[in-house]
Amino acid sequence: MRKYCVIGGVITAISSSPVFAQSSDCDSVLIEQTDYLQEDTLESLAWMRMINKDNYEQARKKANLYTAYFVGDYSSFDKKRSSLLSKENYSQHYSNSRETFKASLSADQVDAWSSCVGKETALYTYYRDITPMRATLVVGWAAPATVGAIELTSFEASGVEGLAVDQDGDELLGERAFLLTRLEEGAEVSGVVNGVAGQNRQAYQSSFFIPAWSQPVDEEIEPPVHIVVNLAGQKLKTIGYWSGGANSSTFDCRGATPNNMTYIELEVSSKNHGKKQTCGINPVGVGKGYCDGYNEYCVEYTIKRGCYVSTEWLNWYEYTAQRNKLPYSLEAACTPSNP
């Protein structure tokens, strides 16, 4: 039976097996977990560091922060990112950045990543219950039944005082939790888990890194300013039909959503105005030539209930409702807060 011990703050077990690095194929799932990120935090910088040429387009579609950095191609992004990371004195390499970001995720977000890993043959790690003094490290093994369990050949962790683990077995099938106690309050923890599996005793490895303590993702966030613009009664669009309704063209009456605002549509009414009216006016400019001849007509759509709401406040509202398990509705978002 393999025994684990602590020497000078390092938990270690001797292994002479070659190693096979942990797969990063599921990192694309991590890139999508941006719901609660805020700019200029350790977690957001780690997320930026994880973006590469292969996942740039995916990250750009999900980005709700650092949006100006995603204007242009990857080369343009990379130059702006390098400047940002240098300004923020952020020097973590890719692997540690991935683990830093993973350590900040909620249970649901980790589940999305671990579900992806479960489809591979991989030795993997993730974290939960992170506090200034302790963290739970979960070590998992995903493999088809033909491969079987993995034999853990070494477990090394620096920056910890001790390891709470069942030392009567060194085979792993599924997941096992290790309770880590930091050597110093708030200090970072790093290490690596090695193992061998299969008839050929293929070697596998998973590194882990829990950054120095920072406030958890569910810390109370001060609410941003709640800006609401009521759109009730505003024309939304007009659809002009001709050839008895066989053909049509749509005119946008609302226009572009203002910067840093989100459009919320709650209820819309429609009315056939017959001829000579688009967006509530005679079609002199927009819509000229429509709804003014034989077999032509226009249907106008008006916002009965809707608004523009400040995007920063809306993100905070959704996050706070989810974290505290409170009711969430777009109608409430369109209701101005009490002064």
Query: Would 338 be classed as within a structural domain?
Result: no
- My answer on whether 202 and 281 are in the same domain is no
Number of structural domains found in the chain: 2
Radius of gyration of the chain (CA): 28
For residues 35-57, average pLDDT: 86
Q: Do 203 and 95 belong to one domain?
A: yes
DSSP secondary-structure letter at 281?
B
Provide mean pLDDT across the span 306-311: 93
Paired residues of 125 in beta bridges:
139
Residue 310 belongs to a domain: yes
Residue 223 falls inside a structural domain: no
CA atoms within 13 A on the CB side of 161: 10
Question: Which tokens sit at 144?
Answer: 């088809």
Mean pLDDT is highest, among 54-58, 228-232, 335-339, for: 228-232
Whole-model pTM over 0.85:
no
**Distance, CA of 45 to CA of 43 (rounded, Å):** 5
Instruction: Write down the mean pLDDT value for the chain.
Output: 80
* Whether residue 194 is found in the same domain as residue 275: no
Q: Please choose, from the candidates 217, 220, 182, the residue with its C-alpha nearest in 3D space to the C-alpha of residue 42.
A: 217
Q: How many CB atoms lie within 10 A of CB 283?
A: 20
Q: Which domain holds residue 46?
A: 5-210
| SS3 state of residue 291 | coil
Binning pLDDT at 50, 70 and 90, where does residue 214 land?
low
Q: Which of 210, 238, 273 is the last residue of a domain?
A: 210
Helices marked H in 231-306:
none
Work out the pLDDT band at 304, boundaries 50, 70, 90. Answer: very high
Asked if the structure places residue 129 within a domain, the reply is: yes
Angle of helix 74-87 versus helix 42-50 axis, rounded to 10: 150
Does residue 233 sit within a domain?
A: yes
